[in-house]
């Protein structure tokens, strides 16, 4: 348990380091975009390659991708219900800011640090389904709800084919299912770069972290997070006790259920002309809550 706590504290300190370096001027607020591109387009894909190459994906595990998508549908529906009294714009805001999981930049470093390759692959598969919603799916539906516009499969597809992590998931999934070997030089390069993913992802979160809890936001933030984490608790229990997979896969599924709100929720809120300040507060608050819950879960599981 002490080892778990030490590792978890180290991950939190990486976030603190990023936040502190921003406050003292080492990083600027706009550097968050550069760091996020490095993580999403370089270090995370390399980590995916390494872990997929060391594990043959069973066909049954692919259902985790379906679960990732279905969980987003459930959370978006809950967000719609949460915003039902405020009109179409409020419903759309709820859908975008209650759904979505920040897996690649938040949960993956935990999984890499505490669990084995099969757990990383399981998290990746869940994130593949999650990516369909986060990369435009939920936003597209929410835009229709908020403005009465038409949902565009083409726009969502365009987002997915330009998402480096999603493309990496798909390629490595095919490679794994067909039992194709990954070239040695590729694995060597990916191994070196992928090892930096945990640090870079947590540093990036620290640079982007802003928690401004204005009084006018408190009630809505509390309600939104209560809805999300109540559902997350039910999902985590179902994943852990009911999924027909190994203990390690069920553990990571339970952990992923408590991932914070997707970082894409804030820019998508802006595109809908929604309250970006409220969206940012919900997003940052979810990071703090998820840090606490996932750390406690890891200690309880004895990982």
Query: What pLDDT, in 10s, does the model give residues 17-42?
Result: 988 998 898 998 788 888 888 888 89
Choice among 88-97, 132-141, 155-164 with the minimum mean pLDDT: 155-164
pLDDT score, position 229: 95
pLDDT score, position 61: 81
pLDDT score, position 147: 65
pLDDT score, position 34: 86
pLDDT score, position 149: 59
| CATH code for the domain in which residue 58 is found | 1.20.1530.20
Owning domain of residue 254: 2-301
Distance CA 218, CA 157 (A): 36
Q: Say which residue, 146 or 139, is predicted with more confidence.
A: 139
Closest-CA residue to 70 (of 106, 99, 48, 92):
99
Kindly report the pTM of this predicted structure. 0.84
Show the 3-state SS of the chain. CHHHHHHHHHHHHHHHHHHHHHHCCCCCCCHHHHHHHHHHHHHHHHHHHHHHHCCCCCHHHHHHHHHHHHHHHHHHHHHHHHCHHHCHHHHHHHHHHHCCCCHHHHHHHHHHHHCCHHHHHHHHHHHHHHHHHHHHHHHHHHHHHHHCCCCCHHHHHHHHHCCHHHHHHHHHHHHHHCCCCCCHHHHHHHHHHHCCHHHHHHHHHHHHCCCCCCHHHHHHHHHHHHHHHHHHHHHHHHHHHHCCCCHHHHHHHHHHCCCCCCCCHHHHHHHCCCCHHHHHHHHHHHHHHHHHHHHHHHHHHCC
135 falls in which pLDDT band (50, 70, 90)? confident
| Stretch 65-83: mean pLDDT | 91
Using the CB atoms, write b or e for 95-105: b if 16+ within 10 Å.
Answer: bbbbbbbbbbb
The number of distinct structural domains making up the chain is: 1
The per-residue pLDDT for range 163-221, each reduced to its tens digit, is: 788 888 888 888 877 778 888 898 899 999 988 888 888 888 788 777 776 777 788 88
Task: Check pLDDT > 90 for residue 159.
Answer: no
| Stretch 281-285: mean pLDDT | 87
pLDDT above 90 covers a percentage of the chain that reads 23
């Amino acid at each position: 348990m002490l080892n778990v706590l030490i590792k978890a504290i180290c991950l939190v300190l990486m976030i603190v380091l990023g936040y502190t370096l921003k406050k003292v001027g080492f990083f600027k607020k706009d550097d968050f975009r550069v760091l996020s591109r490095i993580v999403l387009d370089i270090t995370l894909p390399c980590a995916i390659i390494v872990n997929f190459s060391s594990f043959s994906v069973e066909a049954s595990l692919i259902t985790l991708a379906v679960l990732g998508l279905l969980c987003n549908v459930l959370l978006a529906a809950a967000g719609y219900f949460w915003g039902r009294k405020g009109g179409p714009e409020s419903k759309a805001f709820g859908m975008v800011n209650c759904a979505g999981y920040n897996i690649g930049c938040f949960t993956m470093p935990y999984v890499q640090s505490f669990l084995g390759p099969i757990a990383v692959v399981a998290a990746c598969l869940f994130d593949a389904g999650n990516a369909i919603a986060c990369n435009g799916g939920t936003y597209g539906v929410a835009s229709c709800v908020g403005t009465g516009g038409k949902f565009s499969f083409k726009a969502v597809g365009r987002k997915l084919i330009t998402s480096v992590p999603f493309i990496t998931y798909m390629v490595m999934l095919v490679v794994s299912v067909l039992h194709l070997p990954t070239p040695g030089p590729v694995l060597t390069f990916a191994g070196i770069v992928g090892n930096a993913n945990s640090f870079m992802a947590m540093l990036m979160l620290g640079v982007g972290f802003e928690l401004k809890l204005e009084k006018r936001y408190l009630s809505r933030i509390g309600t939104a997070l209560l809805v999300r984490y109540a559902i997350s608790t039910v999902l985590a229990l179902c994943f852990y006790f009911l999924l027909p997979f190994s203990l390690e896969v069920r553990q990571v599924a339970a952990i992923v259920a408590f991932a914070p709100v997707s970082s894409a929720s804030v820019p998508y809120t802006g595109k809908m002309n929604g309250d970006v300040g409220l969206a940012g507060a919900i997003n940052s608050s979810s990071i703090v809550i998820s840090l606490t819950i996932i750390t406690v879960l890891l200690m309880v599981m004895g990982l």
